[in-house]
Structure 1
């Protein structure tokens, strides 16, 4: 079934979705990864207890999974957690090459510092030859450092990435996890949690209908919960199926 076009109200609400966090991420079978990231966040919050040297596999993590499995959400959650803890962070992806240049200029200072810092790298599988070289150099700097953390995500396990061999090998030096897609019941649970957090009461038939007729990826579905919340307040009406259809009706 064809996905309906975005109505204007919904498109405007996409920019107002809550910040990514571990609390608003619903794991499927990703508990080992989430537990590892939660432990890391606690360490960042207690920097005064931070060890002078951390094992590399406590600071070097790669996770992989299909589109829509939460890879990018988790990277954003860890960037936000670092920001909350007052830790310097750098977010890299293939679409913003200038940010790689800025980070490489700071790598020497970061590597020699006792203060923790955080680097996230999204869509590792989509790096061009120039950025592959940059990531290789960055990883060498992380390996030589005391407290740089690097968190990376891609669509496949390191050995299955179409990248040069020495980089594939390095990606597997730390901890490697796989992220899983949510099934429909888990998606409904996640959406119910999001609605409850906003004080939003949904008619029981709303979420099954959305999964059948609307977007099935979690970012769009979560953004729709925000749009429904705003539209319900604006119209002073409960969130029932007629209200949802009205919101999604192209103007």
Structure 2
């Protein structure tokens, strides 16, 4: 029943409640909103398919640009250096992804250097992501050189206009009527990353069906204010 869905438990923060929904819509290449990153996504897709011979592919860009989405969408074995900065227990695989490379500690940098060499020797693929390109990261020189030898692409964050267009398209797919004013309200008052905004469209669709009410600004305020009891 919708009222029992985690999004509508009023004793948890709104952002966490929305994030609880994310596994229902796992990140894929198809549901990634490319915006100004069409060329990057095309190269990434070609590399994943084996069409580009580089051992490593690095995605970099500011928080919220979609780095983690694409790493999850790759289907590679994924390690978050923010949670495991020493890469403890990580072994080489044919397809390995390391998120937040900039958060590796000294042990993790040594481990990634060894993993890179093993993956290269085996003809595998190493996918990494960070806030800056390898040359600008505070890493061991030998590791910077290895990562810098591969493909390196920047992910540009979506503009507000691109986010609004994506939200409108997702609403149309659900036959959900969202006015420009409602979309602007979401962009001003909701978390601004595209994955959370996409899940808000899902939540809004469910909430309007339960409440049997159209989308209005008061209804949007209700949904976004559910973080407090």
Q: TM-score range by the shorter chain?
A: 0.7 to 0.9
In 2, the alpha carbon distance for the partners of 1:78 and 1:193 equals 24
What displacement does 1:142 show? 1.4
In 2, the alpha carbon distance for the partners of 1:138 and 1:230 equals 45
What displacement does 1:101 show? 4.2
Equivalent residues of 1:56, 1:174 under 8 A apart: no
| 1:63 match: secondary structure | strand
* Aligned: 1:227 with 2:203: yes
Aligned to 1:78: 74
In 1, the alpha carbon distance for the partners of 2:141 and 2:69 equals 28
Q: Compute the RMSD of aligned alpha carbons.
A: 2.4
What displacement does 1:234 show? 1.4
Match of 1:67 among 56, 63, 66: 63
* Aligned: 1:142 with 2:147: no
Which structure ranks higher in relative contact order (CA pairs < 8 Å, sequence separation ≥ 6)? 1
Name the structure with the higher helix share.
1
After the TM superposition, which residues 146-225 of structure 1 pair with which residues of structure 2 at under 5 Å, given as runs?
146=123, 148-225=124-201
**Residues 164-190 of structure 1: per-residue CA shift (max 9 Å, x gap):** 111111111111100011111011112
What displacement does 1:230 show? 1.9
Runs of 4+ residues over 6 Å off in structure 1: none
Aligned to 1:91: 78
Question: Which is worse superposed, 235-244 or 122-131?
Answer: 235-244
Change (3 A) 1:90 1:100: farther
Which sections of structure 2, spanning at least 5 residues, go unmatched?
1-6
What displacement does 1:229 show? 1.9
Aligned to 2:33: 26
Give the TM-score of the pair, scaled to structure 1.
0.76
Match of 1:126 among 103, 113, 133: 103
In 2, the alpha carbon distance for the partners of 1:248 and 1:101 equals 39
Give the TM-score of the pair, scaled to structure 2.
0.83
What displacement does 1:98 show? 9.7
